[in-house]
Amino acid sequence: GQNIDQPTEMTATEGAIVQINCTYQTSGFNGLFWYQQHAGEAPTFLSYNVLDGLEEKGRFSSFLSRSKGYSYLLLKELQMKDSASYLCAVSLGGDKIIFGKGTRLHILP
Amino acid sequence: ETGVTQSPTHLIKTRGQQVTLRCSSQSGHNTVSWYQQALGQGPQFIFQYYREEENGRGNFPPRFSGLQFPNYSSELNVNALELDDSALYLCASSLVAGADGYTFGSGTRLTVV
């Protein structure tokens, strides 16, 4: 079976840093995505990791360890607009992507 | 370049009825995937279409069916609606082997009463 685990909810303060972890056990692996989803809206692409290591893109960074089946999304200098759900998703190959249940991030002023 | 468009945006149906949801893929994308997202959950993979053929299916019963047309647009059909089918249905298009992942439509919110 396919299993992607991430925390259900997290709370952080405006201006701070937060790390959202994701572990996965899947039958195939081509890469790992992070998506952001605001309530009632479609998911939007944040990052895609294929190789081990850290990829930085502005305030957001994503890390991947394929041997550990582990990834995290790091958000720096948090802003109120970062309040959203963050979805960890694995590309299985053949252009198929499966999603975790998402982490709801609450930002406090 | 247009994105992914879905119609309708909201829909209310009665248990036992049938529903058809529509999706126009992003220009240049040849693959369409459908997801069901219940409130507070992540998207669950229903199936994927590539060049008008089903290219993989998730754990959904046969009353969930689909089509892809030559212009790569797609339909999701659900027969014999159940209350648990109430969810946001997301369509996503992609280009095979593209590293940008999916481009999602805004979804159709289906309520079954």
Tell me, letter by letter, the H, E, C secondary structure of chain B.
Answer: CCCCEEECCEEEECCCCCEEEEEECCCCCCEEEEEEECCCCCCEEEEEEECCEEEEECCCCCCEEEEECCCCCEEEEECCCCHHHCEEEEEEEECCCCCCCCEECCCEEEEEC
Q: Which of B102, B103, B106, B109 to mutate to test the interface with A (most CBs of A within 10 A)?
A: B102
Look up residue B26 and give its two tokens: 């992003």
Question: Is the bond preceding A7 in cis, omega lying within 30 degrees of 0?
Answer: no
d(CA A6, CA B62): 30
d(CA A28, CA A40): 30
CB B9 within 8 A of CB B105: no
Option in A42, A44, A48 nearest B99 (CB) = A48
How far B14 CA lies from chain A's nearest CA (Å)? Answer: 22
Sequential pLDDT tens for chain B (113 residues): 568 999 999 999 999 999 999 999 888 888 899 999 998 899 999 999 988 999 889 999 999 999 999 988 999 999 999 999 999 999 999 876 555 678 899 999 999 99
Nearest CA in chain A to B43: A99
Sequential pLDDT tens for chain A (109 residues): 789 999 999 999 999 999 999 999 998 899 999 999 998 888 998 999 999 999 999 999 999 999 999 999 999 999 999 999 999 999 887 668 889 999 999 999 9
Residue corresponding to tokens 């405006």: A14
Q: Which residues of B touch A31 (CB under 8 A)?
A: 99
Q: CB contact, 8 Å: B96 with chain A?
A: yes
